[in-house]
Amino acid sequence: MARKDKGKILQLRNRSLISLTNPKSSIAERFRTIRTSIQFSNVDMDLKALVVTSPQPGEGKSTITSNLAVVFAQQGKRVLLIDADLRKPTVHYTFNTENHVGLSNVLSRQATLQKAVKASSQENLWILTSGPIPPNPSELLGSKSMNALLDEVKNKYDFVLLDSPPVLAVTDAQVLGNLTDGVVLVISSGNTKIDSARKAKELLENAKAKILGVVNNNKKEQNILYYYNEK
Protein backbone atom coordinates (compact mmCIF):
# COMPACT_ATOMS: atom_id res chain seq x y z
CA MET A 1 0.00 0.00 0.00
CA ALA A 2 1.35 3.43 -0.89
CA ARG A 3 2.22 5.74 1.98
CA LYS A 4 -0.21 8.37 0.63
CA ASP A 5 -3.11 5.89 0.64
CA LYS A 6 -2.22 4.66 4.13
CA GLY A 7 -2.35 8.24 5.41
CA LYS A 8 -5.86 8.66 4.00
CA ILE A 9 -7.04 5.48 5.74
CA LEU A 10 -5.65 6.60 9.10
CA GLN A 11 -7.28 10.00 8.65
CA LEU A 12 -10.66 8.36 8.03
CA ARG A 13 -10.25 6.20 11.12
CA ASN A 14 -9.50 9.24 13.24
CA ARG A 15 -12.60 10.98 11.91
CA SER A 16 -14.75 8.06 12.99
CA LEU A 17 -13.61 8.64 16.59
CA ILE A 18 -14.86 12.22 16.73
CA SER A 19 -15.59 11.97 20.47
CA LEU A 20 -11.85 11.47 20.99
CA THR A 21 -10.39 13.71 18.29
CA ASN A 22 -12.87 16.59 18.58
CA PRO A 23 -14.68 16.30 21.94
CA LYS A 24 -16.07 19.84 21.69
CA SER A 25 -17.86 19.21 18.40
CA SER A 26 -21.65 19.10 18.11
CA ILE A 27 -21.55 15.43 17.12
CA ALA A 28 -19.48 14.56 20.20
CA GLU A 29 -22.10 16.37 22.26
CA ARG A 30 -24.76 14.17 20.66
CA PHE A 31 -22.87 11.11 21.81
CA ARG A 32 -22.83 12.50 25.34
CA THR A 33 -26.60 13.04 25.07
CA ILE A 34 -27.04 9.41 24.02
CA ARG A 35 -24.84 8.38 26.96
CA THR A 36 -27.15 10.22 29.34
CA SER A 37 -30.24 8.68 27.73
CA ILE A 38 -28.77 5.21 28.19
CA GLN A 39 -27.93 5.87 31.81
CA PHE A 40 -31.49 6.98 32.55
CA SER A 41 -33.21 4.38 30.37
CA ASN A 42 -33.76 2.09 33.35
CA VAL A 43 -33.26 3.73 36.72
CA ASP A 44 -34.27 0.56 38.55
CA MET A 45 -31.42 -1.49 37.04
CA ASP A 46 -27.66 -1.06 37.14
CA LEU A 47 -26.59 -1.29 33.49
CA LYS A 48 -23.17 -2.91 33.34
CA ALA A 49 -22.99 -4.63 29.95
CA LEU A 50 -24.62 -3.25 26.80
CA VAL A 51 -24.78 -4.53 23.21
CA VAL A 52 -24.88 -2.19 20.21
CA THR A 53 -26.17 -3.68 16.97
CA SER A 54 -28.10 -2.80 13.80
CA PRO A 55 -30.58 -4.56 11.51
CA GLN A 56 -28.14 -4.82 8.60
CA PRO A 57 -24.48 -4.06 7.73
CA GLY A 58 -23.38 -0.51 6.89
CA GLU A 59 -25.66 1.35 9.31
CA GLY A 60 -22.89 2.73 11.51
CA LYS A 61 -23.19 0.56 14.61
CA SER A 62 -19.41 0.06 15.04
CA THR A 63 -18.70 3.79 14.84
CA ILE A 64 -21.52 4.47 17.31
CA THR A 65 -20.18 1.80 19.71
CA SER A 66 -16.63 3.13 19.67
CA ASN A 67 -17.68 6.74 20.24
CA LEU A 68 -20.02 5.75 23.06
CA ALA A 69 -17.15 3.86 24.70
CA VAL A 70 -15.05 7.02 24.51
CA VAL A 71 -17.67 9.32 26.07
CA PHE A 72 -18.40 6.85 28.87
CA ALA A 73 -14.65 6.75 29.62
CA GLN A 74 -14.47 10.55 29.50
CA GLN A 75 -17.04 10.54 32.30
CA GLY A 76 -14.43 8.85 34.50
CA LYS A 77 -15.83 5.33 34.28
CA ARG A 78 -13.58 2.33 33.73
CA VAL A 79 -14.86 1.12 30.36
CA LEU A 80 -14.15 -2.04 28.36
CA LEU A 81 -15.02 -2.08 24.66
CA ILE A 82 -15.38 -5.63 23.32
CA ASP A 83 -15.38 -6.34 19.60
CA ALA A 84 -17.88 -9.21 19.63
CA ASP A 85 -18.24 -9.13 15.85
CA LEU A 86 -16.28 -12.32 15.24
CA ARG A 87 -17.13 -12.22 11.53
CA LYS A 88 -16.19 -8.72 10.32
CA PRO A 89 -14.37 -7.04 13.23
CA THR A 90 -13.43 -3.35 12.97
CA VAL A 91 -12.53 -2.10 16.45
CA HIS A 92 -8.81 -2.77 15.96
CA TYR A 93 -8.92 -0.63 12.80
CA THR A 94 -10.77 2.19 14.55
CA PHE A 95 -8.24 2.34 17.40
CA ASN A 96 -5.27 1.51 15.17
CA THR A 97 -4.14 -1.49 17.21
CA GLU A 98 -3.15 -5.09 16.48
CA ASN A 99 -5.62 -7.97 16.58
CA HIS A 100 -3.45 -11.06 17.01
CA VAL A 101 -4.94 -11.90 20.41
CA GLY A 102 -8.49 -11.06 21.44
CA LEU A 103 -11.96 -12.32 22.36
CA SER A 104 -11.82 -15.53 20.34
CA ASN A 105 -8.56 -16.51 22.05
CA VAL A 106 -10.01 -15.87 25.51
CA LEU A 107 -13.21 -17.82 24.81
CA SER A 108 -11.25 -20.77 23.43
CA ARG A 109 -8.91 -20.57 26.44
CA GLN A 110 -5.85 -19.86 24.34
CA ALA A 111 -5.18 -16.60 26.20
CA THR A 112 -6.10 -14.93 29.46
CA LEU A 113 -8.24 -11.82 29.65
CA GLN A 114 -5.30 -9.92 31.14
CA LYS A 115 -3.13 -10.78 28.15
CA ALA A 116 -5.81 -9.95 25.56
CA VAL A 117 -7.06 -6.58 26.87
CA LYS A 118 -5.27 -3.48 25.57
CA ALA A 119 -5.19 0.09 26.82
CA SER A 120 -6.42 2.75 24.39
CA SER A 121 -5.35 6.35 23.81
CA GLN A 122 -8.41 7.44 25.78
CA GLU A 123 -7.90 7.40 29.54
CA ASN A 124 -10.11 4.85 31.36
CA LEU A 125 -10.89 2.97 28.13
CA TRP A 126 -9.61 -0.55 27.46
CA ILE A 127 -10.20 -2.67 24.37
CA LEU A 128 -10.72 -6.38 23.81
CA THR A 129 -10.42 -6.88 20.06
CA SER A 130 -12.04 -9.81 18.29
CA GLY A 131 -8.91 -11.91 17.87
CA PRO A 132 -8.61 -14.32 14.94
CA ILE A 133 -11.94 -15.05 13.21
CA PRO A 134 -13.14 -18.48 14.47
CA PRO A 135 -15.11 -21.08 12.49
CA ASN A 136 -17.95 -21.07 15.04
CA PRO A 137 -18.73 -17.47 16.17
CA SER A 138 -22.30 -18.09 17.39
CA GLU A 139 -21.29 -21.12 19.43
CA LEU A 140 -18.43 -19.21 21.07
CA LEU A 141 -20.61 -16.21 21.93
CA GLY A 142 -23.30 -18.45 23.43
CA SER A 143 -20.87 -20.61 25.39
CA LYS A 144 -20.32 -20.92 29.13
CA SER A 145 -16.96 -19.25 28.55
CA MET A 146 -18.75 -16.12 27.32
CA ASN A 147 -21.00 -16.11 30.37
CA ALA A 148 -17.97 -16.43 32.62
CA LEU A 149 -16.14 -13.69 30.73
CA LEU A 150 -19.05 -11.27 31.10
CA ASP A 151 -19.24 -11.98 34.83
CA GLU A 152 -15.51 -11.31 35.12
CA VAL A 153 -15.44 -8.05 33.17
CA LYS A 154 -18.53 -6.68 34.92
CA ASN A 155 -16.61 -7.03 38.17
CA LYS A 156 -13.46 -5.40 36.79
CA TYR A 157 -15.01 -2.50 34.85
CA ASP A 158 -17.75 0.03 35.50
CA PHE A 159 -19.23 -0.35 32.02
CA VAL A 160 -18.84 -2.87 29.20
CA LEU A 161 -19.85 -2.18 25.58
CA LEU A 162 -20.06 -4.95 22.98
CA ASP A 163 -20.02 -4.33 19.25
CA SER A 164 -22.21 -7.04 17.75
CA PRO A 165 -22.89 -8.25 14.18
CA PRO A 166 -26.14 -7.08 12.55
CA VAL A 167 -29.32 -8.77 13.76
CA LEU A 168 -30.72 -9.86 10.41
CA ALA A 169 -27.45 -11.32 9.16
CA VAL A 170 -26.70 -13.84 11.94
CA THR A 171 -27.97 -14.86 15.39
CA ASP A 172 -25.00 -13.42 17.33
CA ALA A 173 -26.75 -10.22 18.44
CA GLN A 174 -29.69 -12.20 19.78
CA VAL A 175 -27.35 -14.44 21.75
CA LEU A 176 -25.46 -11.48 23.21
CA GLY A 177 -28.63 -9.53 23.91
CA ASN A 178 -29.89 -12.38 26.05
CA LEU A 179 -26.63 -12.42 28.06
CA THR A 180 -26.33 -8.69 28.73
CA ASP A 181 -28.29 -5.92 30.43
CA GLY A 182 -29.59 -4.20 27.32
CA VAL A 183 -29.36 -3.52 23.59
CA VAL A 184 -29.13 -0.28 21.61
CA LEU A 185 -30.30 -0.65 18.01
CA VAL A 186 -28.68 1.59 15.38
CA ILE A 187 -30.63 2.45 12.24
CA SER A 188 -29.50 4.56 9.29
CA SER A 189 -31.78 7.36 8.12
CA GLY A 190 -32.74 6.89 4.50
CA ASN A 191 -31.05 3.49 4.40
CA THR A 192 -32.68 1.19 6.93
CA LYS A 193 -36.03 -0.13 5.74
CA ILE A 194 -38.91 0.03 8.21
CA ASP A 195 -39.60 -3.69 7.79
CA SER A 196 -35.94 -4.48 8.57
CA ALA A 197 -36.02 -2.40 11.75
CA ARG A 198 -39.26 -4.04 12.87
CA LYS A 199 -37.91 -7.52 12.15
CA ALA A 200 -34.70 -6.79 14.08
CA LYS A 201 -36.72 -5.53 17.05
CA GLU A 202 -38.91 -8.64 16.93
CA LEU A 203 -35.94 -11.02 16.83
CA LEU A 204 -34.24 -9.31 19.76
CA GLU A 205 -37.41 -9.33 21.85
CA ASN A 206 -38.00 -13.01 21.04
CA ALA A 207 -34.49 -13.69 22.38
CA LYS A 208 -35.50 -11.95 25.65
CA ALA A 209 -33.14 -9.06 24.97
CA LYS A 210 -34.06 -5.72 26.55
CA ILE A 211 -34.03 -2.99 23.89
CA LEU A 212 -33.10 0.26 25.63
CA GLY A 213 -33.48 2.54 22.63
CA VAL A 214 -32.74 3.30 19.00
CA VAL A 215 -30.05 5.56 17.54
CA ASN A 216 -31.04 7.16 14.22
CA ASN A 217 -27.76 7.64 12.36
CA ASN A 218 -26.92 9.69 9.23
CA LYS A 219 -29.62 12.33 9.52
CA LYS A 220 -29.03 14.95 6.81
CA GLU A 221 -29.30 17.83 9.24
CA GLN A 222 -25.59 18.15 10.06
CA ASN A 223 -25.40 14.34 10.41
CA ILE A 224 -27.13 14.62 13.78
CA LEU A 225 -27.71 11.48 15.80
CA TYR A 226 -31.06 10.92 17.45
CA TYR A 227 -31.78 8.56 20.31
CA TYR A 228 -35.26 7.16 20.85
CA ASN A 229 -36.10 5.52 24.15
CA GLU A 230 -37.86 2.19 23.79
CA LYS A 231 -40.66 2.60 26.31
Residue 226 has pLDDT above 80, yes or no: no
Is 90 exceeded by the pLDDT of residue 134? yes
Closest CA to 139 of 171, 181, 180: 171
26-39 vs 61-74: helix crossing angle, rounded to 10 = 80
Which domains, ranges and CATH numbers included, belong to the chain?
Answer: 3-229 (3.40.50.300)
Once rounded to an integer, what is the mean pLDDT over residues 129-144? 95
**pLDDT for residue 11 is more than 60:** no
Mean pLDDT of 90-97: 94
- Looking at residue 2, its pLDDT comes to 38
The DSSP secondary structure of 82-141, one letter per residue, reads EE--SSS--HHHHTT---SSSHHHHHTTSS-HHHH-EE-SSTTEEEE---SPPS-HHHHH
Residue 220 has a pLDDT of 56
pLDDT for residue 229: 55
pTM: 0.88
Residue 49 has pLDDT above 60, yes or no: yes
